[in-house]
Each structure stands twice: as structure tokens, then as C-alpha cells.
Amino acid sequence: MNFRNIFIAILFAFLSLGSAIAKDVKITVWAGGTNEADYYRMEAIKMAADILTREMAIQGEEINITVEGKRDFGGWGEFKQAVTLAAEDGSAPNIVVTSHLDIAPWSQAGYIVPVEDYLDMDAWPLNDIYDNLMEIAAYNGIQYGLPQDAESRPFFFWKEYLKGIGYSDSDIDALPSKVASGDYTLANVLEDAKKAVSMGLVEEGYGFYPRVSNGPDYAQFYQSFGGELMDSASGKLLLDKASMQEFYQFFADAVAAGVTKKNHIGTDWGQWYNEVANGKAAFWHGGTWHYARYTGKEGNDDFFGTIQFTLIPAGNDRGRANTITHPLVYLVTNQNDDDLQDIASQLVKIASEPRINSLHAIESAHLGISKQQSNVGLYANDQWAAEATEVLLGSANAQPNHLQYGVFSEAMWAGLESVWTGSKSAADAVNDLESELSSKLGDDLIVR
Amino acid sequence: MNRINWFGFIFISPVLIMVLLFFLTPVVMTGFFSFTNMSTSTGIKGGEYLINQETIKEIKKYNIQKDTIEKLQNAGYLIDDEGLKIVSKKYKESLSNEIKSFYLGEKFLKRKDLERALKKLKKNKIKKTRDRKEIAEIFKESIINERFDSKSIFEENLIKLEINENDRAIIIEESYTGWTWTNNNFKLIYNLPSSYKFAFYTLIYVSFTLTFNVIFGLFLAISTFYLPSKTASTFRTIWFLPRILPPVLYVLMWKWFTWDTGFISQMSTYFGAAPKNWMMDSPLHAWTVIVLINGFVGASFGMILFSSAIKAIPSSMLYASEVDGANRWQQIWNIIIPQLRWPIMFTTAYQTLSLLTSFEYILLATNGGPGRSTEVWALAAYHTALQNYAGNLQYGLGATYALVLVIIGIIASLFYLKFFNFKDLVIKPRIEG
């Protein structure tokens, strides 16, 4: 053996030792619908990677995890296209943060793997997550994902205008409970909005200033009038014609009364945020995360002094005051590599620790996912998180994880649009909706 | 001679490749997709075999033996000798023995239950969650929630469960997660009331925009013809701007112009009128704006074609008419327009085809609103196939919408070819003839 061979042997030994010392793993995270304030969706995974690396090192496994996050997608549509195309191509990110509604189609298509295949669901911190949120991240009885955050979608009132139409401070304070008990309904909203407009407090069209595009928010109004999205016994989607018609009619009435703009849909989001955060509108509805936007970018320094929030009021006797929570979930994608999927699952588990999740919750004004977060100082001391959790989360429900829910939701929105803009009557729109949904969903739909 | 033929092919090859890549392939793919039920949930590349709660619901609708469902549902996890042997081989014998002493013969409906049971082991604690899950899987009897790549392995597993052949066929069909061939999309489009509306809107869109294009293009061409040539070319350049502006920017400017915070509203408030969204106020407003947006883009195309055609008219004819005392109007009506017959027809034909499939300006401007009253056929295809707030994109149905356009387009072009008699249009070379 000459020196050269010895040298090569040593080099080989060294290299193989090197690879044994630290196994490099790259984890990519894509987060949809993620604004500047939501950066902890990716940051939490980085923190989790640090903890996991240390844990594994103690167990004698050297691993080096690099986490890469991406959140700049044009919108939800572009994000979903990007994920599905990447998954078809075999280059999907390891972890995606997305709407829980994607679980049904993506699990069916085999793009994602169940986290329950890798995690002990009875152990900390998963056993502390709210059951209803865990259920939202499951489909067909399988736990596919973990809730990433919680939110809900309240109704907002500009306090000054409530006072302007004759509310006292104590009336305003009592509003959330009056809404919850059903004593203050959408009919009252319309009445008060009319007053605000006719008294000149707000401009015409700014009495009730709703969301400008389709979203889970509108299913809330369907529920306000007694509608249910899914028949729990059969698991089929449900079209309650009477409720749907009353829900459509409410928006038609709002337009007719001059409190809502006929061409409100499609208003620029930036303009919308700025107007509602600074008192241009009397009543509106939005999401718990709006708090961050109103008090941050839009410069409302006195949120609690200017804005009251409640559940979405009931519309009639059959309906209830409600709010929809539309949690985002962490999903682990199919990489055909058990080790990678295992690591990704461990990371989302660690990122769900109360302390780490609270960072996201408070920074982005979302709600927590687990009970113990009320014992984390950061979370407990935040007025918004505490109050919103108390007023809203108890009455929150979610949209169903159903393969055809997307079709249902789009058609419901198309019907609302046509009534809102006056191109159809509510009755006609509901009849058209029925024939549209019956043809498209067939056996997946119950009409009541 | 042969060499020359080959040269021809080489010269034409870039065009052939372009046609193949950007026209033929999409058309063939559209045709192919439209006969499938492809959606996000079926994936594009193909599927696997999977029985879950949904599948069982579907299977129940068929006339199958009662015990088939039971066999599928109740087969959970069974601690048997066969599994224990594998455990002792793969892990430790003592572990296998402890499981045996605790649970031999026991059945667990869910994996979670078995995992919980395995946690109770005392001497041979399984530390890793993943190992515990793997050991649980060894005892699996059920095939629920398991994905099978191949049909034959899936069928073998069904045979193991003693499911009869008839039921097996049904289960296999229902549990396939990928797309399948179907002509349901065509039936659906035929039955949906909204399809007829989209068709009607498309008709409105194409006919009005086309009319505007041709008339305005003609007006521009003729009016600039009578201007001094320098002024004329300046005007033509200005009118060419809508076409060369990026669509997003061009539509954004229209929004600044028409929305309730925009120019028209700002101006009208000086006269005491309330600000109003001139683009989205009513379907009539939306249609007017859409026809104008598209019309100005299209008009420049007509303007260029007509202008050059007018220049080709022998100037002697125009001088002669002036000597005869014809005024401008008579010149236009009796000399220019008759000679523009072919360019006008060509523009009409060409623009019909391109308008049928174009929706980008509508998408950017009204996105089909207000109340879906500007949802043209091509936009509906886009919305169905590529936009859904809640996840499940319907590629198959969207492709069917698109295929209908392709078919209409092909029929229309054949008709135009015949109608224009293209052979006559292409004059035979005089030198060789």
C-alpha cells in the first residue's frame, strides 16, 4: 500500500464520517393567504426545527434541518394552483399551510399524508388542542393535518354611530350578549343602519359595509337564517331553500334601503380596510385577524374605544347568532419518503406548542388552538385574544370538509351576487341555485 | 427538386413547431380532458385504490351482499400468531411474547386503540411513536384507509377478505381515486340553465364588440386618410396605444376612470351628482364598459388594415371623382367603402374568432360581475377549471366548456374559408401563369 492509497482511504473514511455526523434535511414550507403579520407560520417551523435537532442530538442522531419558507403567492387561487401542480410534478413543498377545506380534495388525490401516521395523538401538545379544531383538520375519520391557527368572523359596529342613533354606553356594552341571545337580529341591523344613513352619520351605502368578495363569511348569514351547510346524519350538503331565500333577501333589502352599495362587490380590499378601520362605515363584518390590520397599517389607535364586536346576529327564529371559524391547517405532503414525512410531522407538532403558537396568535391577531395558551402570559395578557376567544370561539362552527363544498359555495355566492346587484329576485335566484346544484351535485345534495 | 422540398420544410419548421405546441397540443388536451371527470381530487396523473367512509357510503347504494360491508368495516386489527411471528423477527422475541401474553386473540377496531394498548406494555416499552405505529400495522386485517397502487394487489386483498366477485368489481370501481372516462360533462352543460346564459352573454359580447371594432376602425382609417400624413400617423399611434399597453395596466386605467372613486365620479360631484361606479352599477354599465375596453383594443387592428387598404385605392379614382364634383361623403360611400369589402370581411371573421375565446379584459375589469351578468363562455371555462375558493377545481368540466368553443371556432373558420372563397382572394402569379 502506498501513500496515495492510504490518503484516499483516510479521505473516504473522513467523508463517510462527515455524512454520518450530520444528515442534511431541507424542509420547505408554503403558506397560503399569508400576510406580513403572519410570518410566524413559517418562523414557527424554523423554531421547531431547532428544537427537533436538539432533541435528536440528545438521542444520538445528528441531523441538520434547514427550513425554507415561501408566502408570496398572488392569492388563494394561485397558491392552490401552485401546490397542486407541484404535487402532480412530484416537487411539492414538505409542509403547506392552507385552508382546512383543501383536506378533502387533496387527501383524495393523494397529495397529502395523514399526520396521525407519524404522531402520537394522545401526547402533548396534541392532546391539548381544542377538539373541534382537531376535527376540522380531519377527514373521513383520519387526522390529516393540525390546526395552525383559529379565527372567527365577527360583526363590527362603529361605536360613535351607535351613540349617534341613540345608544347609551351600557347599551353598547350589552350588545354582544343581546346578539348572542337573539334579541338583536339582522332586522335590527338594517333598521339601525338606515338610521345612521338617514341621520347623515355615514354616506349612503356605508350603513352596512360587507366583505367585498366570496368567503366563508357569507355562509354565516345563511346560518343566521336557519340554514345548515351539511346534514350531519347523512354527510350530504344541504340546501335549505327558505333560509337561502331570506339570506339573499336581506342583502337585497340592504341595497334597497340604501345602506349597502349595489355595486359593493369587487371594491378594492385596501380601500375597504381603510374605510372600516377609520369610521367611514357604520356596521360591517370581518375577521378576528382584522384587528392587526386596523390597529397597524390603517392606524386606528383606539380599537376598543371605537369598535364593538359581536357574533353575526340571527336573522329569524329558526336561525342563530353564529360565527364561522376557518382555521388554517398544517398539512404534510406525500414525498414518497417516510423519513421526510416523519420529520415534517414532528415539526408541525412542535410548532403547535402553546408558547410557539401564541407568538403567531398575538403577532397576527389570530386566536389560539389549545387550552393551555390561556396560561401563556403573552396570550393571556392580550386584550383582543382574550375577549375574542370569550365572545366568539364558543359559538363558532366551521364549513364542512366535503369534496363538493367548493361547488356549493361558489354557486351560493353566484346567487347572492345576482340578487345583490338586482339582476334577479331572491326567489328566482334560489330556484336557479337549486337546479344548478341539483345537476352538479346530484346525490351529494339534500334540498329542503 | 427533393432538396428544395426539404428546404421548404426547414423554413416552415418554426411555424410548425409553434402550431403544434401552442395550438394543436392544447386542443387535443382539451378534447381529452373534456371526456374525463378530472378535478383536484382525482389528480391528473392517475389514481390509486382506497376504501374510506365515503367509499363505503357509495358502495352501500349498490345491491351487494350484506356481509360484504361488515367484512370491510369490522376487520380492524387482530393480534394473531402470524403477526406475532413477524414482530419477533423484525423486533425482539420478548416484545412479541409480551404482546402475546397481554392481547392474543384480541381485536381492535381502530389503530389508535391498538396503539393505546401497546403503550401499556411494561417490560418492552416501545419508545418511538413510529415504531409503535409500524408494529400496529403488522396486525392489520382491514384495508380501510389504505392506498393501493395496483389493482391486482388491491383485488388480492379483497379476495383475502372473502368478498365475492360481483361485489369486488363494484368495490374496485368505487374505490378508484383517479379520473375516469365519462361524457357526463356534456350532459351537465346541456342541462345547466347557466350554460344558456353564458352562451347568450357571449353572443352579446362578440356581436357588440365586433360592430364597434369595425365601425370605429373604419372611422379612424377614413378620417386619418384625409389628414396630412404626419398628423395622421400621430393620431394612428395614439389609437394604437390600447393594444400595446399591458392589459392589466390598461384595465386599471379604466377602473380609475369609471369607479366611484374615479375620474367620472369626481367630475360629476362638481355638478352635484352622487359618485357612482360607472363600471359595475348595472349590467348595462358593465356591458358598455366591456365593449369599449375591448372595442378600443380591436379598433386599432381594423384601423391599420383599413388604412393600408385605402392607400391601395388608385388615387386617380379619387381625383376623378373630385373633378366630377363629388363631396367627401360621396367619395367615402361610393369609392372607399366598396373597395374595403374584403378587409372588412376579413376583420369580421378574424375578430369573431378571437373574441369568442378572449376573456382577459373581462376577467380584469368586472370578473363576470355584477351578478355574473358579464360571465361569457370562455370566462366560465376559466372559473370552472381554475378558480374555486374552497378547493376542488373541475378541470374536466372546464375543459368541456373550452372544447365547445374550439368546435364553434373550427366550424366558423371553415364557414369563413368557404364564404370568402380564399382561392379567389389569393391571385395566381402572373409571371408563370
Q: Over the stretch A144-166, which tens digit does the pLDDT of each residue have?
A: 999 999 888 999 999 999 999 99
- Closest-CA residue of A relative to B41 is A105
Position B82 scores a pLDDT of: 83
Query: If we measure between CA atoms, which residue out of A89, A112, A88, A91 comes closest to residue A100?
Result: A112
The answer to whether A117 contacts B133, with C-beta atoms less than 8 Å apart, is: yes
Establish, for the pair of chains A and B, how many residue pairs have beta carbons separated by less than 8 Å: 158
Tens of pLDDT along B8-28?
888 888 999 999 998 899 999
Integer CA distances (angstroms), B281 to A275, B157, B197, B223, B392, in order: 20, 61, 20, 34, 31
Q: Using a CB-CB distance cutoff of 8 angstroms, which residues of chain B are in contact with residue A420? A: 370-371
Is A411 found in the same domain as A391? no
**pLDDT of residue B274 exceeding 70:** yes
Task: Check B369 against A266: CB less than 8 A apart.
Answer: yes
Q: Do A393 and A322 form a contact (C-beta atoms < 8 A)?
A: no
pTM for the model: 0.82
Q: Is A262 in contact with B369 (CB distance < 8 Å)?
A: no
Number of domains comprising chain A: 2
Integer Cα distance of B99 and A196 in angstroms? 72
- Same domain, yes or no: A12 and A79: yes
pLDDT of residue A340: 93
Domain shared by A198 and A340, yes or no: no
Looking at chain B, which residue has its C-alpha nearest residue A107?
A: B41
H/E element holding B308? helix B283-311
A126 touches chain B (CB under 8 A): no
* Interface contact A109-B43, CB threshold 8 A: yes
For B291, the 3-state DSSP assignment is: helix
> What's the CATH number where A231 sits?
3.40.190.10
Say which residue, A59 or B430, is predicted with more confidence: A59
Asked if residues B139 and B79 have their Cβ atoms less than 8 Å apart, the reply is: yes
| DSSP letter assigned to residue B274 | P
Predicted confidence at residue A243, as pLDDT, reads 95
Choose among B45, B282, B391: nearest Cβ to A80. Answer: B391
B389:A409 CB<8 A: yes
pLDDT at B130 (0 to 100) = 83
H helical segments located in A37-108: 40-58, 76-89, 103-108
Q: Is the pLDDT assigned to residue A1 strictly greater than 60?
A: no
Q: What is the mean pLDDT of residues B228-233?
A: 88
**What digits encode the pLDDT tens for the residues A400-440?**
988 889 889 989 998 999 999 888 899 999 999 999 899 88
Q: Looking at residues B233-241, what average pLDDT do you find?
A: 88
Task: Please compute the mean of the pLDDT values over residues B194-203 and round it to a whole number.
Answer: 93
Q: Is the pLDDT of residue B419 over 90?
A: no
A163, A281: one domain: yes
Q: CA A258 to CA A275: how far, in whole Å?
A: 18
The reply to whether A354 and A409 lie within a common domain is: no
One domain, residues A278 and A418: yes
The pLDDT value given to residue B66: 79
Secondary structure of residue A100 in the 3-state scheme: helix
Residues A267, A320: one domain?
yes
Over residues B205-222, mean pLDDT: 93
A345 and A292 in a common domain: no
Compute the distance between CA of residue A360 and CA of residue A149 in angstroms, rounded to an integer.
8
Residue A284 shares a structural domain with residue A410: yes
pLDDT band at B108 (very low <50, low <70, confident <90, very high): confident
The greatest distance separating any two alpha carbons of chain A, rounded to the nearest whole angstrom, comes to 100
Residue appearing with cell numbers 401552442: B22
Q: Is residue B388 within 8 angstroms of chain A, CB to CB?
A: yes
Neighbour tally for A443: CB within 10 Å: 10
The answer to whether A337 faces chain B, any CB pair under 8 Å, is no
Same domain, A215 and A295: yes
One domain for residues A220 and A294:
yes
Q: Which domain holds residue A67?
A: 3-147+328-397
Q: Are residues A55 and A123 in the same domain?
A: yes
Which one-letter DSSP state was computed for residue B429? P
Q: Is A140 on the interface with B (CB under 8 A)?
A: yes
Q: Which grid coordinates are listed for B368? A: 363576470
Which of B147, B194, B392 faces A436 most closely, judged by CB atoms?
B194
- Single-letter code of the amino acid located at B70: E
Comparing alpha-carbon positions, the chain A residue that sits nearest to B364 is: A266
Distance of CA A109 to the CA centre of its chain: 22
B283 vs A contacts (CB less than 8 Å): 421, 423
User: Quick one: cell of A62?
Assistant: 445528528
Taking CA–CA distances from B391, the nearest residue in chain A reads: A102
* Bigger pLDDT: A388 vs B433: A388
Q: How many CB atoms lie within 10 A of CB A316?
A: 18
B300: left (phi over 0), alpha (psi -120 to 50) or beta: alpha
Using an 8 Å Cβ cutoff, are B387 and B22 in contact? no
- Whether the CB of A120 is below 8 Å from some CB of chain B: the reply is yes
B148 CB-near residues (< 8 Å, 6+ apart): B48, B49, B50, B154, B157
Q: Tens digit of pLDDT for each residue in A185-239?
A: 999 999 999 999 999 999 989 999 999 988 889 999 999 999 999 998 888 999 9
